[in-house]
DNA sequence: AAGTGGTCTAGACCACTTC
DNA sequence: AAGTGGTCTAGACCACTTG
């Protein structure tokens, strides 16, 4: 536990976020990767050269994600099964991450980008006027050449004013495009999940047999604070084993 | 904003938890139900007669659940769409709550309780020896008399030593039974979700037609800290519209 | 009794946004 | 310049578990 170093004050970034990132790295594969508990809050504060308040802020975050559990009189217990858990639907927003996590290589094909008029439903989700112009981006995603997702993304065209749409590489993750072209960071997202048989055309594109069901996901993505930027509908095959950590409020 | 009152120190219960509960109530249907922002941390501290630290602890929790977003230089922004969101899979562990949230009445039938021997898979999930005795509780759940869930719960029989099993009302929520009979509180739970067609017998019990898919949920529930107490497999019909709030870590 | 996390106080300064 | 949240200090007491 001697190899941790004091953190420098780094412009812009928040201290507690840095501490969280550092602790998670050490929990997954660093000096805490074989421990049952973390050092006490006081020890951590001294090790990293920050106050106990900062440590506690960071530990709260990590605890809420399920990675640790703080118990009075005992200490900060590490939840190994959660630390090593893959395919966490509640912490990853990008399917490319989820595919890579399973040791597969993501790839996009059947890409189709078009301009459409916003239906009432989608306009409400994006907080724009019904009938406004939308960019619709349809694509199929493969994992090691097996089709696993079909998705349709809807974005307000207004956000891309002054940008040549055909110069954008739409096969890239949509969040990366939003970041680079619009300067928008998506950090939170509400997803509605439903098991479905799904439309015949989509089943065909995903090579579904009669025994296969699909997971329909309807997503609303928000940039800080609380500004809707993306609506999307996608169909996932049984290829994925999504896991969710659930906590009582 | 004058109608909030200072909180009394209440034996045993934690201050910040009380503040969270109070703020959530006011956010949902109280004095903040029509606001875009919360008062500043200092104001809240004064209003409730606690320190700013307590307010910040409480706001961290509420923020992590997505209900608010704190922005430096701006304030604490309320995320209305999340506050009003129902059927949050990540915050509710009990299907009876989810059914009632939709305005329906939950009801259990086709109840069957038996003793079985633990398979290797389940033994590993529950942290017990393969072959140990398990209580298996199968049931069908209805919402307003429509069958919507079929579930099988597995519990280590050892936890119920000295208790007459037939005196337990197994149609009650399993978490209530664990609490009352074993003194165990389940607060966290890892659920794996997969869209499936599902076994024919279960499809029959859930009145599935050819157009219906099912959501298979494999759950591992833990009591504090990190102690597995329940394994269960259940099938949910398309009746539910589960929503998940997802945040990038 | 000693050590842990949980809560609390009363100040202070910094970084950021808005006016 | 004023107000916000983010961090910090330097204490303090409590509830709980272990020796």
User: pLDDT tens digit string along B155-189?
Assistant: 999 999 888 888 899 999 999 999 888 888 888 89
For the ranges A99-103, B146-150, B164-168, the one whose mean pLDDT is highest = B146-150
Residues 154-183 of A with CB under 8 A from B: none
- How many angstroms is C1' of D6 away from CA of A14? 7
Domains, chain A, ordered by start: 16-83 (1.10.10.10), 95-236 (3.40.1410.10)
Whether the per-residue pLDDT at B9 is higher than 70: the answer is no
Cβ atoms of A70 and A79 closer than 8 Å? no
B81, B242, B249: best to mutate for the A interface, most A CBs within 10 A = B249
Band (pLDDT 50/70/90 cuts) for residue A13 is low
Which chain D nucleotides are covered by protein, judged by CB under 7 A?
Answer: 3-11, 15-18
Mean pLDDT of chain B: 89
Tell me, in Å, how far CA of A171 is from C1' of C11?
Answer: 54
Neighbours of A30 (CB within 10 A): 14
Predicted confidence (pLDDT) per residue in A199-248, tens digit: 999 999 999 999 999 999 999 999 887 889 999 999 999 998 899 999 88
Alpha-carbon distance of A203 to A186, in angstroms, equals: 29
Structural contact between residues B69 and A224, judged by C-beta atoms closer than 8 angstroms? yes
Give pLDDT, residue B14.
64
- Residue A138 has which token pair? 């349809």
Residue with tokens 């941390």: B41
* SS3 label, residue A71: strand
Binned at pLDDT 50, 70 and 90, residue A6 comes out as: very low
What is the reported pTM? Answer: 0.91
Rounded to whole angstroms, the Cα distance separating B77 from B66 reads: 11
Cβ contacts (< 8 Å) between B213 and chain A: which residues?
Answer: 195-197, 213-214
Token output for A117:
């008029």
Average pLDDT value for residue range B11-29: 79
Half-sphere exposure of A136 (CA within 13 A, CB side): 14
So what's the pLDDT on residue B10? 36
Write down the residue that tokens 């019904």 correspond to.
A130
For residue range A102-138, what is the model confidence (pLDDT) as tens digits?
Answer: 899 999 998 999 999 999 999 999 999 999 999 999 9
């Amino acid at each position: 536990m001697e190899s941790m170093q004091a953190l420098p004050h780094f412009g812009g970034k928040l201290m507690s976020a840095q501490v969280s990132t550092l602790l998670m790295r050490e929990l997954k594969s660093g000096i805490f990767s074989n421990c049952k508990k973390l050092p006490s809050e006081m020890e951590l504060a001294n090790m990293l050269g920050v106050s106990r308040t900062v440590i506690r802020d960071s530990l709260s975050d990590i605890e809420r994600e399920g990675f640790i559990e703080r118990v009075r009189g005992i200490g900060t217990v590490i939840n190994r099964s959660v630390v090593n858990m893959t395919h966490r639907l509640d912490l990853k927003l990008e399917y490319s991450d989820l595919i890579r996590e399973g040791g597969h290589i993501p790839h996009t094909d059947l890409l189709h980008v078009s301009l459409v008029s916003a239906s009432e439903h989608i306009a409400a989700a994006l907080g724009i006027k019904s009938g406004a112009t939308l960019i619709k981006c349809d694509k199929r995603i493969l994992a090691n050449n097996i089709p696993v997702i079909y998705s349709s993304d809807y974005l307000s065209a207004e956000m891309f004013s002054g940008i040549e749409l055909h110069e954008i590489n739409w096969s890239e993750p949509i969040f990366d495009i939003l970041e680079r072209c619009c300067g928008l960071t998506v950090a939170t997202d509400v997803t509605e999940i439903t098991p479905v048989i799904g439309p015949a055309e989509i089943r065909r594109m995903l090579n579904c047999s009669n025994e296969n069901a699909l997971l329909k996901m309807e997503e609303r993505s928000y940039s800080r604070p609380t500004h809707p930027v993306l609506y999307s509908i996608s169909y996932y095959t049984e290829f994925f084993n999504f896991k969710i950590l659930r906590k009582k409020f």
